[in-house]
């Protein structure tokens, strides 16, 4: 097991290297010019050219790539072209809001979606099942920003229960932290709840028809015990897989959610950096996201062993 | 550790963290009243007003750095850090004396050598500064409070150059900071203005915070734009960047922010219905919409093709696309200068007036020899203003019978591509859309877009010597009457040659909560004099 974990962690190095090369190349060939953005609309072409030279953007691809890789190997993601701040500092400033949002969304989604899926499978074909599936379809269909606006309108503007926007650090208190994240987490969690609920239902339906479930019933096991102890544990592997895949969904959804609720997270940092062509920031953030995704996948693989003892690495 | 134990420890840690948080400090009502929360027009992505000349950087910098002179609401130049000035009878030597007691935010005195370094850094980045640099013979600190500027030829607009609102503004920084090359970003933000920039609270893309500087010595005169006593009435000004207008609107209605610099017109009716919110014009100098045709590439390297477009275009179409039905927000603009300002002129503007004549325009286009070559029209879709105008232009060109290659892209790409002089089809372009702040268009001083000096001109590279001649005459004009005469001529020749196509004059709103007072109309948000109850 330990050897497997080490092997998987080492395998992230070539993955990250390929991501780095891909991202750098893509940004190099992509249109757009940070120097033009910095210089402003009234700048002359000569101004733009001088800024480009001062930023080193006029140097050849290989020189720039080599320098960047050399710095990364030293743990330095570079300095933002625009803010003059280290990329690591900018990422650190944004990590907490995004992770808070993602963790809360994840908790909310799993807490709601798994029981929903279980109940839907148990009550297959009933009104409850249809309601759950209807909700799932709606969760997939309604864009995050629409849900976000509706929630903000009802719970912030009309009822005045929660703030419209912003983020308060966890160090300032549990409730201030939570009250800023409730609406974004619900908005972002919609798709995720739908996804997990559907997978849970489908997997549970399959498991509930297995022989050992009939045996458990014959032995007189209660419905709750059958559903949550016998069936759900055996249905867990695909559910956990979907939860892992959904992290990518969350990262994508966070971009929109953070914009709608003005949360200063990594999603907004990414969009701002892309629009301004702040290459070091884009590269740093994408590397981070790739790393997170690789680690989440590893965690999911390791979790399989908790739910299915037959799986051994 | 077993799974159950792990969960218990995690839960306990969370609860402890939560309890600790519940005991956290709350913002008192008094403190809240001393903090002004502002939603700016854009993200403050950098904080060097010389290196980065975006308006949002200028607006933030105006709080942090002071100027020698400042333009007031009547567009007149007033002394600011300067106590007085003398100019020699030949107009070649300017001697400027600083007010006593001026201090930087590190409590060091503002000295003449700081001013010399600041002027030296500013000049290469500013059109007027470049002119001054070209005729500068000597710029020295005579003593701690006096500097002398010797020129090779008179420059009557010198004080205006030092006090204008156009970016880059000539801000005064400590010498050690101002020694930084003009094309390299500074990283030390010690200012000379009424507010300090709190760098440790800066989260680019989200928040910027400014605190009142107690050591600032305001002038005695009432504040008026960049001039007069800059008295800050709050302890802190917090900028909250909100990329989504709907969120900013909701936050303003909910009292989570106090002042929104540029609400979009779609949301104005909602804001006006809220009795806690005041809505008014933000900047009376407004903006001038424009699209520029490339003088280097066919078909717009031909004067008749440019004139045909001007003849066919309807400014009302453009302005309706921008501001909708609100007639308070736009005016037709048969010229290049900001309406309701002293130098405004409609001379030569007949081509933009009256009913549009598409048939005559088509005839003119045919005379230009246009034979269906593609017209590459760059349109930034992420900027509502350029997107709206681009859609109108595409329709206009099609009605004229032109073969439109509509390039829908983002502003970053337009910014890069418009600098390319290649032929169309090889990365070049035929036209792009933009707009100019009305404050930049009150005279030719900082009006890059109107310059027509070929390679040295703004994108599109118009080459019209008569325009350049008129600009030079304006700089030498001795009084307002002479300036007006020159501007009339300039407007005419620029329109005759279609330096660019003005799509109309438009205004924007600002909105604030009614417990905020002292908000004024101006080319930038002025935070001095603004208080909150």
Read off the pLDDT band of B312 (50, 70, 90): very high
DSSP string, B120-188: HHHGGGSHHHHHHHHHEEEEEEEETTEEEEEESS--TTHHHHHH--SSSP-B---HHHHTS-TTS----
Query: Chain A: residue nearest B415 by CA?
Result: A36
Residue B271 pLDDT > 70, yes or no?
yes
Nearest CA in chain B to A262: B242
Query: How many cross-chain Cβ pairs, A to B, lie less than 8 Å apart?
Result: 170
CB contact (8 A) between residue B250 and residue A165: yes
* Smallest CA–CA distance from A178 into chain B, residue: B18
**Segment among A13-22, A140-149, B373-382, B465-474 with least mean pLDDT:** A13-22
Longest dimension (CA), chain B: 90
What is the predicted pLDDT for the residue at A254?
A: 87
Q: Which B residues, 425 through 464, put their C-beta within 8 Å of a C-beta on chain A?
A: 434, 436, 440, 446, 448-449, 456, 458-459
In this prediction, residue B190 carries a pLDDT of 98
**In chain B, positions 148-167, which contact chain A (CB-CB < 8 Å)?**
166-167
| Segment of B50-54, B299-303, B380-384 carrying the highest mean pLDDT | B299-303
pLDDT-based confidence at residue B336 (cuts at 50, 70, 90): very high
The reply to whether omega before B421 is within 30° of 0 (cis) is no
Span B50-194 CATH architecture = Alpha-Beta Complex (3.90)
% residues pLDDT > 70 (chain B): 94
More reliable by pLDDT, B419 or A90: A90
Q: Is the pLDDT of residue B8 over 60?
A: no
Mutate to test the interface with B, among A29, A35, A43, A266 (most CBs of B within 10 A): A43
Contact B419 A36 (CB under 8 A): yes
In this prediction, residues B173-189 reach a mean pLDDT of 95
The 3-state secondary structure of B66-89 reads CECEEECCCCCEEECCEEEEEECC
Sheet holding B509-513, edge to edge: B195-197, B207-212, B236-240, B35-39, B259-260, B509-513, B277-281
Q: Give me the domains of chain A, ranges plus CATH numbers.
A: 2-73 (no CATH), 87-307 (1.10.3720.10)
User: Which 284-313 residues of chain B touch chain A by CB within 8 A?
Assistant: none
> What number is the average pLDDT over the span B265-270?
93
Distance from the Cα of B411 to chain A's closest Cα (Å) equals: 8
Q: What is the pLDDT of residue B28?
A: 58
Are A141 and A294 contacting, i.e. CB atoms less than 8 angstroms apart?
no
Encode pLDDT of A267-313 as tens digits: 999 999 988 889 999 999 999 998 888 888 888 888 888 777 777 76
CA B451 to centroid of chain Cα atoms: 18
Judged against a pLDDT cut of 90, whether residue A56 lies above it is answered with: no
pLDDT per position as a tens digit, A6-37: 888 888 888 888 988 888 888 888 877 888 87
Report pLDDT digits (tens) over A72-83: 888 899 999 899
Q: Which residues of A touch B248 (CB under 8 A)?
A: 262
Q: What pLDDT was estimated at residue B17?
A: 40
Closest CA to A105 of A195, A211, A10: A195
Task: Provide the whole-model pTM.
Answer: 0.86
pLDDT digits (tens, 9 = 90+) for A217-233: 898 888 888 888 888 88
d(CA B286, CA B85): 32
Long-range CB pairs of B418-422, under 8 A, 24+ apart, other chains included: B418/A36, B418/B378, B418/B459, B418/B460, B419/A33, B419/A36, B419/A45, B419/A48, B419/A49, B419/B459, B421/B296, B421/B461
Closest CA to B474 of B156, B235, B5: B156
User: Alpha helix (H) ranges present in B192-339?
Assistant: 245-253, 268-273, 303-312, 315-323
CB contact under 8 A, A170 and B183: no
Query: Count of alpha carbons within 13 Å of A64, Cβ hemisphere only?
Result: 17
What's the mean per-residue pLDDT of chain B? 92
Contact: A164, B459; criterion CB under 8 Å: no
Q: Compute how many other C-beta atoms are within 10 angstroms of the C-beta atom of residue A184.
A: 30
Inform me whether the pLDDT recorded for B67 exceeds 80. Answer: yes
User: Which residues on A lie below 8 Å from B24 (Cβ)?
Assistant: 171-173, 176
User: Residue B250 is nearest to which of A82, A152, A177, comparing CB atoms?
Assistant: A152
B-chain residues near A51 (CB < 8 A): 51, 183
Query: How many Å apart are CA B503 and CA B396, to the nearest integer?
Result: 12
Q: Which residue of B has its CA nearest to A264?
A: B206
On the question of pLDDT at A100 being above 80, the answer is yes
pLDDT of res. B29: 60
pLDDT of residue B157: 92
- Give the per-residue pLDDT at B9: 42
Q: Which of B140, B135, B128, B129 is nearest to B151 (CA)?
A: B135
Question: Quick check: A153 and B24 CB within 8 A?
Answer: no
Domain boundaries, chain B: 50-194, 287-505
CB contact under 8 A, A156 and B243: no
State how far the Cα of A294 lies from the Cα of B477, in Å rounded to an integer. Answer: 68
> What pLDDT does residue A42 have?
66
Predicted confidence at residue A38, as pLDDT, reads: 79
CATH class of B287-505: alpha beta
B268 touches chain A (CB under 8 A): no
CA B60 – CA B209 distance, rounded (Å): 10
pLDDT at position A4, please?
A: 82
**What does the block give as tokens for B277?**
């919110």
Enter the DSSP assignment of B423: P
List, for residues B237-247, the tens digit of each pLDDT value. Answer: 999 999 899 99
Which B residues, 319 through 348, put their C-beta within 8 Å of a C-beta on chain A? Answer: none
Maximal CA-CA distance, chain A: 85
Average pLDDT over residues B285-294: 97
Distance CA(B448)–CA(B167), nearest Å, equals: 11
Contact residues on chain B for A166, CB-CB shorter than 8 A: 240, 251, 256
Contacts of A284 in chain B (CB under 8 A): none
**Those residues with Cβ within 8 angstroms of residue B181's Cβ, 6 or more apart along the chain or in another chain:** A54, B121
CA atoms of B202 and A161, how far apart (whole Å): 29
Optimal mutation site among A171, A262, A279, interface B, most CBs of chain B within 10 A: A262
CB contact under 8 A, B410 and A260: no
Contact (CB, 8 A) for A180 and A166: yes
Residue B14 confidence (pLDDT): 40
| CB within 8 Å: A260 and B244 | yes
Confidence category of residue B443, pLDDT binned at 50, 70, 90:
very high
Rg (CA), chain B: 25
Q: What is the ipTM of this complex?
A: 0.84
The H or E element containing residue B405 is strand B403-409
B480-524 residue pLDDT tens: 999 999 999 999 999 999 999 999 999 999 999 999 999 999 999
Q: Is the pLDDT of residue A159 over 90?
A: yes
Burial class (CB in 10 A: 0-12, 13-18, 19+), B245: middle
């Amino acid at each position: 097991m330990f050897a497997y974990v080490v092997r998987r962690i080492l395998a992230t190095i070539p993955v990250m290297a390929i991501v780095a090369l891909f991202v750098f190349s893509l940004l190099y060939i992509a249109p757009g010019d940070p120097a033009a953005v910095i210089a402003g609309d009234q700048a002359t072409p000569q101004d733009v050219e001088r800024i480009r030279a001062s930023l080193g953007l006029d140097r050849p691809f290989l020189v720039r790539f080599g320098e960047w890789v050399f710095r990364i190997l030293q743990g330095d993601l570079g300095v933002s072209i625009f803010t003059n701040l280290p990329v690591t500092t900018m990422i650190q400033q944004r990590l907490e809001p995004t992770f808070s949002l993602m963790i809360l969304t994840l908790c909310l989604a799993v807490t709601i979606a798994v029981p929903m899926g279980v109940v839907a499978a148990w009550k297959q074909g009933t009104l409850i099942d249809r309601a759950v599936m209807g909700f799932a379809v709606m969760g997939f269909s309604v864009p995050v920003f629409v849900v976000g606006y509706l929630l903000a309108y009802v719970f912030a503007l009309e009822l005045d229960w929660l703030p419209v926007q912003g983020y308060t650090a966890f160090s300032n208190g549990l409730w201030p932290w939570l009250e800023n994240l409730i609406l974004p987490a619900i908005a972002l969690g919609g798709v995720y709840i739908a996804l997990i609920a559907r997978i849970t239902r489908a997997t549970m339906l399959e498991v509930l028809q297995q022989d050992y479930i009939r045996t458990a019933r014959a032995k007189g096991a209660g419905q709750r015990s059958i559903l949550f102890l016998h069936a759900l544990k055996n249905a867990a592997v695909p559910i956990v897989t979907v939860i892992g895949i959904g992290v990518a969904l969350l990262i994508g959804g966070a971009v929109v959610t953070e914009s709608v609720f003005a949360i200063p997270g990594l999603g907004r940092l990414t969009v701002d950096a892309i629009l301004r062509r702040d290459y070091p920031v884009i590269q740093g953030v994408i590397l981070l996201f790739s790393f997170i995704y690789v680690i989440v996948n590893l965690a999911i693989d390791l979790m399989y062993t908790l739910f299915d003892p037959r799986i051994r690495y | 550790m077993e799974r159950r134990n792990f969960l218990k420890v995690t839960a306990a840690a969370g609860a402890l963290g939560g309890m600790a948080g519940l005991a956290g400090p709350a913002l008192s009502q008094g403190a809240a009243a001393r903090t002004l929360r502002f939603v700016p027009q854009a993200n403050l992505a950098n904080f060097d007003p010389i290196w980065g000349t975006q308006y949002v950087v200028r607006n933030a910098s105006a709080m942090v750095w002071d100027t020698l002179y400042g333009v007031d609401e009547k567009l007149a130049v007033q002394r600011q850090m300067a106590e007085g000035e003398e100019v020699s009878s030949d107009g070649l030597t300017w001697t400027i004396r600083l007010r006593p007691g001026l201090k930087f935010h590190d409590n060091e005195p503002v000295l003449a050598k700081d001013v010399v370094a600041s002027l030296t850094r500013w000049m290469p980045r500013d059109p007027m500064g470049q002119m001054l640099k070209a005729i500068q013979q000597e710029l020295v600190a005579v003593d701690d409070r006096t500097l002398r500027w010797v020129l090779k030829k008179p420059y009557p607009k010198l004080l205006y150059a030092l006090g204008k609102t156009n970016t880059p503004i000539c801000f005064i920084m400590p010498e050690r900071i101002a020694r930084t090359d003009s094309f390299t970003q500074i990283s030390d933000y010690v200012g000379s203005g009424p507010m300090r920039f709190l760098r440790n609270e800066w989260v680019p893309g989200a928040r910027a915070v400014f605190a009142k500087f107690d050591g600032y010595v305001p002038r005695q005169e009432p504040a008026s734009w960049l001039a007069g006593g800059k008295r800050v009435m709050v302890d802190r000004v917090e900028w909250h960047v909100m990329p989504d207008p709907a969120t900013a609107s909701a936050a303003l209605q909910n009292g989570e922010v106090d002042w929104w610099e540029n609400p979009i017109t779609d949301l104005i009716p909602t804001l006006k219905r809220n009795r806690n919110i005041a809505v008014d014009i933000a900047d009376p100098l407004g903006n001038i919409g424009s699209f520029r045709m490339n003088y280097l590439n066919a078909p717009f390297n031909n004067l008749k093709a440019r004139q045909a477009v001007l003849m066919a275009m309807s400014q009302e179409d453009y302005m309706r696309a921008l501001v909708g039905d609100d007639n308070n927000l736009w005016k037709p603009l048969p010229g290049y200068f900001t309406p309701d300002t002293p130098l405004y002129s409609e001379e030569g503007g007949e081509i933009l007036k009256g009913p549009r004549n598409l048939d005559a325009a088509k005839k003119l286009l045919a005379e230009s020899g246009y034979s269906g070559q593609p017209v590459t029209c760059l349109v930034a879709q992420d900027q509502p203003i350029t997107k709206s105008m681009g859609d109108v232009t595409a329709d206009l060109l099609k009605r004229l019978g032109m073969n439109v290659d509509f390039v829908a892209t983002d502003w970053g790409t337009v910014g890069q591509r418009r600098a390319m002089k290649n032929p169309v089809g090889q990365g070049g372009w035929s036209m792009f859309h933009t707009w100019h702040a009305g404050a930049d268009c009150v005279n030719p001083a900082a009006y890059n877009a109107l310059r027509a000096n070929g390679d040295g001109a703004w994108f599109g590279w118009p080459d019209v010597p008569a325009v350049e001649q008129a600009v030079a005459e304006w700089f030498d004009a001795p009084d307002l009457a002479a300036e007006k005469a020159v501007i009339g001529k300039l407007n005419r020749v620029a329109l005759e040659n279609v330096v660019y196509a003005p799509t109309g004059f438009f205004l924007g709103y600002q909105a604030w909560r009614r417990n905020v007072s002292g908000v004024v109309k101006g080319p930038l948000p002025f935070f001095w004099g603004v208080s909150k109850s």
